[in-house]
Structure 1
Amino acid sequence: MKKYSLIFLFLVGFIALFSACNDDDKYIPTPPVVSIESLSGVFAMPQEDSIILKAKVESPLETTLRWSVNGEETSTDSIYTFKMNDLGNYEVKLTATNADGEVSATTPVEVYGKYKYGTFILNEGASLRGDIASKLSFINPKGIFTDSVYQKENNGEMLKLLSQDLFISSNKMYFISQRNTLTVVNAETLKKEIIYEDEIKDLVAPTHLVVLDDNIYIRDNKGVYLFKLSDKSLTFIEGSNGARKNTMALVDGKVFVSKGKSVVVIEKGKEEISHTIDFEGNVSGIIKSADKNLWVSDASGKISKMNVKDYSISQTNELPTEAAKLLTASYAAAPSISAKGDTLYISALQSKIYRHIFSKNQTDFMVDAKEMVENVNIVYNTVSVNPINGDVILNSIKGYGENIAVNNISIFDFSGSEPTLKANYENYLRYPAGTFFTYNFE
């Protein structure tokens, strides 16, 4: 019996040992599962801003974290605030480590210039009774207003007097001054790159421009000229005589110019007008549409949609009398219309703002700015709508002379049942030449 008992105990011990070894074989290591989350939902930001990144970690074991940017360790917390002032693309890496292993996740983060996206208001200044310098103001997407941004970014240097228009192309911003100066800056930083003066000295009071690759089309008192950056040549575009002092449009690699009752077309590489499209009244506005065709308004009180490939008119809407009056070809240097999608806004040089929904042929009176903002006596140029968020901007002054210093940049929100004044920036204007949204140049 004692012999059998020993055998039994041996077998029980062997089975227990075998079971323990078998349990060890079944152990599955559990290294962490890790990913990176942006609390704002974006991984791109302007310089001097920040992005809050959060570590998302799944691990049953104690885990340590390590953040690095381009290989340099920056933090060991679960929340990391990414800040960089230098433009460029960065690799953010999050490494999670527990007793069972080490796992990493990476994400690219872009830092772009703080002026890449937003709204510019160009002030031409004046040369009457002493010069009032041109200046550029900026409203970022968060609604933060900064005055004289060109001056701030160029060590106090002022924009050339009577800067009338700007255009953004290939990450460069171009300013044209009636004093025969073409200034080129970096579109993200506003740092000056080059100024052309002698090369365009033969122009007479140039006011508007369009940039197509290295071809710059400049409108002056005679017509439209082609200034080629490659050889610095300046050539008059035949047939452009009498081009209206107003914004030109670039769509489908073609330049569209208003001239009397017509829109004329300049094709790249040509030194004469290629096509002429006639309208019932003097053309008061031409702007690129969201689907990359053309909106055209004319003094007969109509707005048309034009196909830029075959120049056909797909639809023409006639506005009611009061709104139609605002489509006259006035002395304003900006178009009579501004658009977000198929919704257009009209004010001409008045404080009353109308909205026209083109697809519904519906026109509504939105607001008289005088009822919501003080000192709106003279509307300077025309109303403009932000093509992204629908904000409508109206620039106004109390009057001329000393009263020019009393003015408003008024931003209206028409998304609700009643108009609201979203923001009003007082006393920054100095004869505003126009409002420019970076998104319209994309």
Structure 2
Amino acid sequence: MKKSVFAFGAFVAVALVSCSKKDSTEPMPVGTGEVAIINVLSQNGVAQEDTLVFKAKAPQGSTFNWTVNGKGTTATDSIFKFVSTDMGEHIIAVTASTNNKKVSSQTSVTVYGKYKYGTFILNEGNMTTENGSLIFISPKGVITDSAYFKANGTQLGNVAQDLFISNNKIYIISQNGKKNAVGDAFSNDGLLVVANAETLKKVAAYNDELAALSWPTHVAVLNEENVIIRDNNGLYRFNPITKALTFIKGSRSAAKLTLAVSNNKIFAAAGSKVYVVEPNKDTLTYALDMKGSVSGVVRASDGNIWVSTTGSPAKISKINFRDYSLIKANDIITGSVSAGFGATPGITAKGDTLYFSGAGTKIYRHVFSMGATEFMADAKTVVQNANIVYNNIAVHPVTGEVYLNTMKAYGRDYLTNNISVFNFNNKDILSANYKDHTKFPAGIFFTESFN
């Protein structure tokens, strides 16, 4: 693992995501009589393989016996470090013995899947020589390469393009599936892979059912029977239960850009329009004319839709998700909201604040309510070998940190690369930098974005 020394500070705030809503900000003693359990980290939930620390508070001279789920002595010190790979609720108990007297206390903790909270980077891989792969960065900043392969022992499809999380399942679409760019057969799980979102264990894979697709690039999910897939022809509705693949009439020209989902509707860029798709419908619900080339469609935190358009001037607009009316449009005269050559939106948003870079290294911030845009940083000045941006920046919906994938050059130099994390509230804006992990990164995905 080649991880920058900056990484720790970037994720102190993110680590709070691992806590349940019942967590307090102070250690919590739990117990009766003369012994209590202090939850040192004040977390009631923990990811697989992560550690929680408990401390027994008891009279001086006590000896201790810790158990988990009533099984055996697991520790005899006053400090107990809990680590587990078994998901679900666990009962942690301690018995303190002093002066021939024994008193006990217990508390509970929930273990959830290793990949439930965090950040995914999806790699296309080299289209002629390797399959796609999945990188995971935990809230504590620990990076895991080839996470899907490590969970299953099998590979994602060739040229992985997009992922979506819904109902505790992760859907990953690949452009070529079981063949590479020149038609050679590859050993992998194929075009559409569905896995458990917490463990990445494969649930299903679809190939022959999707044979009619031409270079699929994006996926979004409305429910178990409405998986929307974009390819070179437009939008399709796939039903994993019946295996039916149905073209959505009127959806030709759907752009190679991330699909936004809000209030059980799909919003898709298509030239100067934004298409709207609803579940169980095989025709478009609506086509909104934005009167400019759409470079990004993103769900806003209030359920409405952000739309970026290029032109003179470029604009960021907010659209009502109910009636598709324009709420407000701001002109963008500084920086670029272009999506570039990639397949990710030209804008990214946290609340009322949007970021864009025009698929370049110069990052801009736009506060929509104020109509104000400002230059934030040029990654080239703080990140070594940040020469080529591969797909667009993304802002974490909780921490507000901005992630950027860059590489030195094409050819073999694509192996010299960075996943850079910027915190513009700190003097040292580069809060983390992970070197040499990506292989043509298709996008940055935060699990919290799919809540």
Aligned equivalents of 2:99, 2:325: Cα separation in 1: 70
Aligned equivalents of 1:314, 1:36: Cα separation in 2: 52
Give the number of the structure whose residues are more often helix, by fraction: 1
Aligned equivalents of 2:230, 2:210: Cα separation in 1: 12
1:208–1:219 contact (8 Å) kept in structure 2: yes
Are residues 292 and 99 of structure 1, via their aligned partners in 2, closer, same or farther at CA, if it must alter by over 3 Å? farther
Give the SS at the match of 1:439. Answer: helix
2:334–2:373 contact (8 Å) kept in structure 1: no
Deviation at 1:374, TM superposition (A): 2.0
* Counterpart selection for 1:161 from 158, 163, 171: 158
Deviation sequence 1:132-157 (CA, Å, 0-9, x none): 332211111111222222222222x3
Rg larger in 1 or in 2?
1
What is the letter of the counterpart of residue 171 of structure 2? Answer: Y
Give the SS at the match of 2:359. Answer: coil
Deviation at 1:36, TM superposition (A): 2.8
- Ranked by relative contact order (alpha carbons within 8 Å, sequence separation 6 or more), the top structure is 2
Residue 194, structure 1, aligned to residue 204, structure 2: yes
- What's the TM-score once normalised by structure 2's chain length? 0.84
Residue 369, structure 1, aligned to residue 353, structure 2: no
Give the SS at the match of 1:370. Answer: helix
Q: What residue is the counterpart of 1:136 in the other structure?
A: 134
Identity of aligned residues (%): 47
Q: What residue is the counterpart of 1:246 in the other structure?
A: 257
Aligned equivalents of 1:263, 1:55: Cα separation in 2: 58
Aligned 1:340-359 pairs, distance under 5 A:
340-359=350-369
Are residues 374 and 66 of structure 1, via their aligned partners in 2, closer, same or farther at CA, if it must alter by over 3 Å? closer
Aligned 1:13-412 pairs, distance under 5 A:
32=33, 34-57=35-58, 65-73=64-72, 74-95=74-95, 104-127=104-127, 130-155=128-153, 157-180=154-177, 181-214=191-224, 215-300=226-311, 301-319=314-332, 321-323=333-335, 326-412=336-422
What are the ranges of 5 or more consecutive residues in structure 2 without an aligned counterpart?
Answer: 1-31, 178-190
Aligned equivalents of 1:186, 1:110: Cα separation in 2: 18
What is the letter of the counterpart of residue 420 of structure 1? Answer: I
* Counterpart selection for 1:440 from 408, 425, 449: 449
Give the SS at the match of 1:48. Answer: coil
What are the ranges of 5 or more consecutive residues in structure 1 without an aligned counterpart?
Answer: 1-30
Aligned equivalents of 1:371, 1:101: Cα separation in 2: 65
Give the SS at the match of 1:162. Answer: strand
Deviation at 1:48, TM superposition (A): 1.1
Aligned equivalents of 1:285, 1:170: Cα separation in 2: 25
Aligned equivalents of 1:330, 1:62: Cα separation in 2: 67
Aligned equivalents of 1:81, 1:424: Cα separation in 2: 29
Root-mean-square deviation (Å): 2.2
Aligned equivalents of 2:102, 2:54: Cα separation in 1: 20
Deviation sequence 1:285-333 (CA, Å, 0-9, x none): 11122222221111142112222123233222212x232xx22353320
Aligned equivalents of 1:166, 1:47: Cα separation in 2: 22
Deviation at 1:194, TM superposition (A): 1.9
What is the letter of the counterpart of residue 334 of structure 2? Answer: E
Give the SS at the match of 1:179. Answer: strand
Aligned equivalents of 1:34, 1:291: Cα separation in 2: 46
Deviation at 1:420, TM superposition (A): 2.0
Are residues 53 and 400 of structure 1, via their aligned partners in 2, closer, same or farther at CA, if it must alter by over 3 Å? same
What is the letter of the counterpart of residue 357 of structure 2? Answer: S
Deviation at 1:66, TM superposition (A): 4.3
Deviation at 1:271, TM superposition (A): 1.2
Aligned equivalents of 1:69, 1:349: Cα separation in 2: 50
1:366–1:419 contact (8 Å) kept in structure 2: no
- With 329-338 and 237-246 compared, the bigger mean Cα shift is at 329-338
Aligned equivalents of 2:46, 2:109: Cα separation in 1: 8
Q: What residue is the counterpart of 1:422 in the other structure?
A: 431
Deviation at 1:434, TM superposition (A): 0.6
What is the letter of the counterpart of residue 254 of structure 2? Answer: A
Give the SS at the match of 2:43. Answer: coil
Give the SS at the match of 1:322. Answer: coil
What is the letter of the counterpart of residue 410 of structure 1? Answer: S
Q: What residue is the counterpart of 1:9 in the other structure?
A: none
Are residues 105 and 280 of structure 1, via their aligned partners in 2, closer, same or farther at CA, if it must alter by over 3 Å? farther
Aligned equivalents of 2:371, 2:277: Cα separation in 1: 31
1:204–1:220 contact (8 Å) kept in structure 2: yes
Deviation at 1:277, TM superposition (A): 2.0
Deviation sequence 1:169-223 (CA, Å, 0-9, x none): 1221111111251111121122222210000000000000001221210000011
Are residues 106 and 204 of structure 1, via their aligned partners in 2, closer, same or farther at CA, if it must alter by over 3 Å? same
